[in-house]
């Protein structure tokens, strides 16, 4: 999903991205061909691509391409990994 898609055509719009209680906001950098190796989160999370391009994959067979403005809700206890396609800056909220 892309941030643009969740907003109405108004001069100001605020939408909740996730119902997860947030305790951490983490800036990530994944360069082209970089790999955030497989791991599991114990809490719900949201991964937002600020700049660049990555591919999110998980053990359930989901494979999602994220570019600037795209985000993915990450379910707890599902093994997942992220590969850099282009140099990328991301925000992880969990």
52-73 per-position pLDDT tens digit = 999 999 999 999 999 999 999 9
Distance CA 71, CA 17 (A): 9
In a domain, 46, yes or no: yes
CATH code at position 40 = 2.60.120.10
First to last CA, the chain: 18
Residue 32: inside a domain, yes or no?
A: yes
What pLDDT is attached to residue 16?
A: 77
Q: What's the pTM?
A: 0.83
Mean pLDDT of 11-20: 74
Q: How many domains does the chain have?
A: 1
pLDDT per residue as tens digits for the range 26-52: 889 999 999 999 999 999 999 999 999
Q: What is the pLDDT of residue 74?
A: 96
């Amino acid at each position: 999903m892309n941030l643009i898609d969740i907003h109405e055509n108004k001069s100001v719009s605020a939408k909740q991205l996730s119902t997860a209680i947030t305790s951490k906001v983490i800036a990530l950098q994944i360069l082209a061909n970089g790999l955030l190796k497989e791991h599991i989160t114990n809490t719900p999370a949201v991964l937002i691509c600020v700049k660049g391009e990555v591919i999110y994959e998980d053990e359930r067979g989901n494979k999602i391409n994220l570019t600037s403005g795209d985000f993915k809700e990450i379910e707890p206890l599902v093994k997942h990994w992220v590969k850099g396609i282009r140099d990328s800056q991301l925000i992880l909220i969990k």
